[in-house]
Structure 1
C-alpha cells in the first residue's frame, strides 16, 4: 500500500496539538497566529496570552498531560483532528477524547473549533475528585481561564 505524504497543514495541526496543547507553551508562536481565536466547548480564547491560560488550566488539572492525534482529515486550509488526552489527576488516570477543526493561514493556526465530551471529565475523575477540583477553583488554587467565563 502506498503512503501519501501529509499536507503541511496536517503536520502543523498535529504538532500544535501534540506539543503546545500538551504544555509546550514556549512553542505557541511557532504554531499559532497572534490573532488566533480558539472556540472550545462554548468558551472563547483570543491570542497567545489567552491560549496560554487555557493550556495552563489543563496542566493544572493533569500531570503529566499528553495529547495524541488519532486521525486527521485535511481539506484546503482546514484540518480536522480527532485526539485523545491522557493525564493523571490526584492519582487517577484520565483519558478524554475530542476533535478540533483548525484553519491555517500562512503556516500558522488562525482559528480552532474544538469539542470534547464535557461529561467525560467528571465521569473519569469520579465524584470526589470532581468536587476537589471545584473546591480548588473556588479557593483560587486552580486558575480558570478568562474565556471560560464567557469570553
Structure 2
C-alpha cells in the first residue's frame, strides 16, 4: 500500500503521499505540485469543504488527528481539495480553524463531564444539543474519540 513520502507519478503529475491518520487510522492526503498557487493538497475526509470531519473512533484517534491537522497547517497557502465539498484556498488557515474547533469541542466535553455527564451518549446530548439528531451517531464516534483522548492525557501515557 501507499505510505508517507511515496510519490505517485501519472499523467505528467506527481503526488506526494502525506499520512494524515485520525479520521481513520489509514487516512492519507496527497500533495500535488510544489509552487504556491499551483500546488494543492487532496485531503480526503481529513479536511472537508464544509463542516468538520468525524474522528471515527475506535479506528480514528483524536491525538493522531490533531497531529495530522498540525502537519497540514504547515503546508500554508496550498489549495485544499477535499473529498467532499468545495475547494478551500489556504490549507494552513483551514487546518488552524479545525484545530480551534477541536479544542473548543474538547472544552465542551470537559464541561459536560464536570456537569455530570457519565456516558458518551449523555456527552453527545449535552455538547451536540444544537446539532440535528441525525448527525448524533457520527457525533458519538467523535465523543468516544474525545473521551479516549482526555483519558490518555490524564494518564500521561
TM-score of Structure 1 vs Structure 2, range by shorter chain: 0.3 to 0.5
TM-score, normalization by structure 1: 0.33
Pick the structure with more strand per residue: 1
Pick the structure with more helix per residue: 2
TM-score, normalization by structure 2: 0.32
